[in-house]
Structure 1
Amino acid sequence: MNEVKKIERIIQESVPGKQVTLAHVLASPMPDICERLGVANIGAVGLMTFTSSETAIIAADVATKSADVEIGFLDRFTGSLVIIGDVSSVETSIESVNQMLSSMLGFTVVRVTRT
């Protein structure tokens, strides 16, 4: 008997989105949070994540040019960005990143949240 083997082929495709998936400000974070993140506790920590992940590089550039903030962490492989500074500067920089990505690059952005 000749059995015909069915071979199922699956094609997986990754289609990167154009999204800001998190934009959050930690105002006056607890010292142990900053310690575990490895960043100075100078008022606020801003957290952002992006798809496509390389967008974190652009966001870091915009953030540091728009307000007096420093990059606490940047990962172009996961699309994560952590910025530090005073609360007002961190909020301003995150809003600037959202605005530029939305208007210039057509990204979908999330509302900036704060705790």
Structure 2
Amino acid sequence: MEERITKEELLERLFHDDYENLKGRRLRLTRVRVPGKELSFAHVFTPNDRSIYENLALHIGVHEGEDHRGDAIGMVRVTPWEAIVVAADVAVKAAHVEVGFMDRFCGTLILTGGFTEVMTAVEEVVRFFHETLKFDVCKIHRR
């Protein structure tokens, strides 16, 4: 009679055998991540603690004398990471906000400005990515 094995049992046996055969050997692990079309984080808040602006280097500014302490902060995270450039473009066209930080290698965007302006910008980014680009999006968290 032929033994019936579930997929889970088969995978467990394969991984167990591989692990047992590789014990004591030098291993090289590779982490692979395939980013999907996703806006996975959207948060708008006004920090009480001025050190948050300083730790994010938002107190420096690009223009002499510019200081964003006291502004609201909007944060967005997107994959694929390059799409953050589109998010920044949509945000600054939707409301009077400043780009405090943008990283096209990690998909991170930080916006600063008045709470209403930052909220409007983040809402428009989420809407545009969902409706126009057909990304999976999260809800906006505000505090």
TM-score, length basis structure 2: 0.69
| Structure having the larger proportion of residues in helix | 2
Moved more, 96-105 or 34-43: 34-43
| Cα 1:111–1:95 shift into 2, 3 Å | same
Higher relative contact order by CA 8 Å / sep ≥ 6: 1 or 2?
A: 1
Note the C-alpha offset of 1:42. Answer: 4.0
Counterpart mapping for 1:44-83 below 5 A: 44-83=72-111
- SS of equivalent residue, structure 1 residue 47: strand
Note the C-alpha offset of 1:29. Answer: 4.1
Count of aligned pairs between the two proteins: 107
Max Rg structure: 2
- SS of equivalent residue, structure 2 residue 137: coil
Structure 2: unaligned runs, 5 residues or longer: 1-30, 59-67
Structure 1: unaligned runs, 5 residues or longer: 1-11
- SS of equivalent residue, structure 2 residue 55: helix
Percent identity of paired positions between Structure 1 and Structure 2: 38
Task: Identify which of 26, 49, 65 aligns with 2:45.
Answer: 26
Note the C-alpha offset of 1:25. Answer: 0.5
| Structure having the larger proportion of residues in strand | 1
What is the CA RMSD across the aligned residues, in angstroms?
2.0
Q: Deviations over 1:43-101 (max 9, x none)?
A: 20001101110111000000000001000000000000000000000000000000001
Note the C-alpha offset of 1:16. Answer: 2.3
8 Å contact 2:50–2:70 — kept in the other structure?
no
TM-score, length basis structure 1: 0.85
| Cα 1:75–1:43 shift into 2, 3 Å | same
Task: Identify which of 122, 137, 141 aligns with 1:109.
Answer: 137
